[in-house]
Structures are given as C-alpha cells and as structure tokens.
Amino acid sequence: MSTSAELASPPLEAPSRPFGARDRVGYMFGDLGNDFTFLLASSYLMIYFTNVAGLAAAHVGLLFLIARFIDAFTDIGWGRFLDRHTPGRGGRFRPWIGRMAIPVAIASSLMYVPFTSGWDYGLKLAYAGATYLLWGSVFYTTTNIAYGSMASVLTIVPAKRASLSVFRGIGANSAGLLVSLVPPLFIYAMVDGSSELQPGRLFGVAVVFSLLAALWYILCWANTTERVAAPTQGVDKPGLLALFRSLTTSRPLLSLIAANILIMLASLLVGTMAAYLWLYHFNDGTLSGPAQLTSFLPGLLLSFVAARLAARFGKKEVVTVSLFGAGILYVLLSLLHISDPWIFIGLMFVAGFGLGFYNLLIWALIGDIIDAEEVRSGHRDDGTVYAVNTWARKVGQAVAGGLGGFALSAIGFRSASSVQSAATIDGIYMVSTLVPGLLYIAAALILLVLYPLGRRKVQENVSVLADRRAATDEVI
C-alpha cells in the first residue's frame, strides 16, 4: 500500500535525452502556436464580426459569453482526461499538440471568411457561433490544455521549470509582436479619407497566420520530450467531485482566478477596443500595429530580469506592484484624453512593463498553487488545476468580448458604418483606458490582500515537498 507521501511525490525522470535548450526552444514554439490564432482572434475577430459580417455588437458579446461557459466543460473535462488517461509512447500531453495542429489552423481560418456579409442575419450569426466554438472550445482547448500541462512533465527540477515559463513568455510576446505589427499593414486601407478594414485581406492574413500556428505546434511537438513518468497505475486518485470540493476551498487558486479574470478582462478589452480606437479616435488603423507592440515588447525586454527579480522579491510581490503601476498609468491616459497618437503609444509602452511581469510570471504562480495543493491534499493534478485556471482566463476573455460588445452598443456604435458620432468616439476612448485601468488596480488589490503565496510561503511549501521526497528516497 502506497503512503500519502509517496502518492504526493512526482515520479522520477526517465532515462532519455537530457533536458536542455532544445526543450526550452521547443516549448517556446508552443505558445507561438497558441497566440498566432488566439491573439489574432482577440484583436480582429470582434471588428470582423461587426464591420464585415454586419453582426450586432451585443450579439457578438453574447456569443463570446456563451462560448466561455461551454469552455467550463470542455477545458476542465479535457484537463481531467489528460490527468487520468493511459498515455502512449509519446507521453500524456505532447502527442495532442501534434495531432491537433492542423485542425486548429483550419478552424481558425474558417472564422474569417469574407463572404458571409450577404447571408441572412440568422444564418451568418449561426455560422459565426459554429466556427468560433469549433476553434475555441474544441481544437484550441485540446492543444492549449495539453501544452500548458506538459511543462510539469518535461522536468521535475524547479529551476528548469522556471526557465520553461520564461521561454513560454518569450514565445507569447514574440507572437504578440508579429500579430500586432503585420496584420495592420495589410488589412486596412484609406477609403474617401477614412481608414477601413478590408475583408479579403483579413481572410488572407488569417489563413497565413493559422498555417504558421500549425507549423509552430509541430516544432513544439518535435523538439520536446516528456521525462516524468505517468502516475502509477492502480493508485487511487480523488473523484471529480472530491477534487472540485478541494479546489473550491483553495484560497490561492480562487484568489488568483479572481485576479486573472480581471486582468484578462482588462487586457483583452484593450485588445478588442484597439481596432475601434485607432479607426475612429485616431483615424488611422495602421497605427494599431505599433500601438499593440506596447503590450508585448516590454515582456520581451523583461525576460532577462523577471526571474531574478521574482527570486529576490517574490513572484506575488513583483506582479502586485507592477499591476498597480499599469493601472495608474491607464487611469492617467483616460484623464489626459490624449489626441496625439505617439504620446499615447509612449505612455502605453511604459504601462506595458507592468503587464509584462504578469505575463512572464503567471505560469510560475500556477506552479506555486499546484505545489500548495500537493502540500495540502497529498495529490497532484496538474492538468485539472491548469485547466481550471485556463477556463477562468477564458471567462475574462469572454466578459471582455461581451463587455466590449455591450459597451459599443451602449455608446451608440453603428455596425458596418465608417462614421460614428463624437460621443461614441469619446466612449470608445474611455472604455479603452479608464475601464482597464480600474480593473488592473482591482486585480492588484486582490493579489495584495487575498493571495497567500508570497515569497516566504512558497519557500515553506518547497521545503515541505522536499522533505516528503527525501522521506521516500526520491531523487530530483
């Protein structure tokens, strides 16, 4: 009979190719794949639905909300499947990244077809819903949950796992730079003095970016190796209801989920509204590319120092302070109501450093929570915990889409029209600055007051787990 300490300990690494740069770079390609379709949808799908397909903004927002609640079942169900299924020769998680690479690309491309604008309203709304669910709730879920969970089985060494988080951040920020810079150069054109979206060009960009996403997934699959053996067969693990009872009493997980929802809501609201802000407030959609660089370039620059600062001051501490700074700068942008695009971009760039720390360290925070749950319960369910957090982030994405759509309707936005009222344009500016700023500040307060895994507590948990592994003669 296995003891609880034995069950709590992760399995030993198998004798395979040693962990090294190939795994780090391969893992980086996985988030390139994720974000080549995810960020494209976050930045341009809403404006495609309203300005090309001619859908009402409120209907689009409702679609995003419904999809994320469906994800509650697909994300967590898939995470649970990955935790409990019998793995093949390629491992528990890695094979699904290769298997789903092409389906993700096809589903992503289908969302942007330009010929739906002439269809009956109900038909094109149904098409939008079907393709969006196929991409996000089915194929993207299978790759993303497998990819995120895979970090825990590439190596069991904490420092090596931290390096994977940094390389994941590099991949995400690199994708953000490319998705921000390239599409605006092609998809916008000046028509009668107004900057307008070109449907055919957007579809072409979507196809290219989706195919590149498939390539990045395949490179991730080809260059990573799972080394941590599957859980011992026959070991009793808690049932789904028991697991959820445990997770719903986890203060670290619940507080991080609350902060994550607010942060994702703010960040994706900025991304969703960016196309409208640059088309109507600044009247130059091409500048949305340089503007969105401010969300990703700081993260790349911080990649060299984030891990060291987190080790010295604590991950929670660094993220909390940086979020406060970002929130204050967004509120300042709102109060100044800036009309010069380059001054606006400059201040956004400074605010991006606050968000950069969060984007680089969030996956390490999830690792701290998994360790805390192992200390508390004696069980380790990496895939399920990761899936629960991913679903919470998607809720933030959905609410961002919903809030963006409802806000556009509330401020009088007219779909498929290149001319908006002054009050509507002012409303777009406010939703793009003041609302995200307040949300970032609220998330920072949650982490400061409610999230318990500061630097000292994380070190205590690491010591407890090290003692358990030493008690079972486990070598890491």
- Rounded to a whole number of angstroms, the CA Rg of the chain reads 22
Q: State mean pLDDT over 213-235.
A: 78
Does the pLDDT value for residue 345 go beyond 60? yes
For the segment 159-166, the average pLDDT, to the nearest whole number, is: 75
Burial of 182 (0-12, 13-18, 19+ CB in 10 A): middle
Average pLDDT over residues 438-453: 94
Q: How confident is the model at residue 158 (pLDDT cuts 50, 70, 90)?
A: low
219: which residues sit within 8 A by CB, 6+ positions away?
26, 29
250-284 core/surface letters (b: 16 or more CB in 10 A; e: else): bebbbbbbbbbbbbbbbbbbbbbbbbbbbbbbbeb
DSSP-assigned beta bridge partners for residue 228: 13
Average pLDDT, the chain: 81
Cα separation, 276 vs 262, in Å, equals 21
Of residues 330 and 310, more confidently modeled? 330
Q: What confidence tier does 128 reach under pLDDT thresholds 50, 70, 90?
A: very high
Rounded distance, CA 277 to CA 339, Å?
Answer: 11
**Rounded to 10 degrees, what is the CA torsion of 120, 122, 125, 130?**
-110
DSSP output for 313-381? H-HHHHHHHHHHHHHHHHHHHHHHT---HHHHHHHHHHHHHHHHHHHHHHHHHHHHHHHHHHHHHS---
C-alpha 244/C-alpha 253 separation (Å) is: 12
**Least-confidence region, from 20-34, 70-84, 135-149, 422-436:** 70-84
Q: Which residue has the higher pLDDT, 64 or 382?
A: 64
The answer to whether 372 touches 256, Cβ cutoff 8 Å, is no
CB 208, CB 199: distance < 8 Å: no
Which has the closest alpha carbon to 158: 325, 374, 407? 374
Does residue 393 or residue 208 have the better pLDDT?
208
The confidence band for 101, taking pLDDT boundaries of 50, 70 and 90, is: very high
- The rounded percent of the chain whose pLDDT value lies above 90 is 28
pLDDT at res. 70: 85
What confidence tens digit (pLDDT) does each residue in 242-284 have? 556 666 677 888 898 889 888 888 887 787 788 788 888 888 7
Spell out the residues 6+ positions from residue 407 whose beta carbon is closer than 8 angstroms to its own. 427, 431, 435
DSSP-based three-state secondary structure for 195: strand
Most confident of the ranges 29-33, 168-172, 237-241 = 29-33
Q: Is 191 helix (H, G, I), strand (E, B) or coil?
A: strand
Judged by DSSP in three states, 225 sits in coil
Residues whose CB is less than 8 angstroms from the CB of residue 398 and which lie 6 or more positions away in sequence, other chains included: 64, 65, 67, 68, 69, 71
pTM (2 d.p.) = 0.69
Mean pLDDT of 375-394: 70
Region of poorest pLDDT, from 41-45, 324-328, 368-372, 405-409 = 405-409
Q: Which band of pLDDT confidence, cut at 50, 70 and 90, is reported for residue 30?
A: very high
Residue 235 pLDDT class (50, 70, 90 cuts): very low
